[in-house]
Amino acid sequence: MADKKFEAILTLLVPQVVQLICENYPMDEVAASREFYESKVYSLLEQEDTKLWHFSPLTLFNMYDEEKKTGNFEIPEEV
On the 0-12 / 13-18 / 19+ scale of CB atoms within 10 A, 41 is buried
Average predicted confidence (pLDDT) for the chain = 92
Banded model confidence at residue 38, pLDDT cuts 50, 70, 90:
very high
Over its C-alpha atoms, the chain yields an Rg (Å, rounded) of 12
Banded model confidence at residue 73, pLDDT cuts 50, 70, 90:
very high
* Phi, psi (degrees; rounded to nearest 5) at 29: -65, -35
How far is it, in rounded angstroms, from Cα 9 to Cα 45?
Answer: 10
Mean local confidence (pLDDT), 67-76: 96
What local confidence, expressed as pLDDT, does residue 79 receive? 47
Cβ count within 10 A of residue 7: 13
Mean local confidence (pLDDT), 37-57: 94
Mean local confidence (pLDDT), 50-61: 95
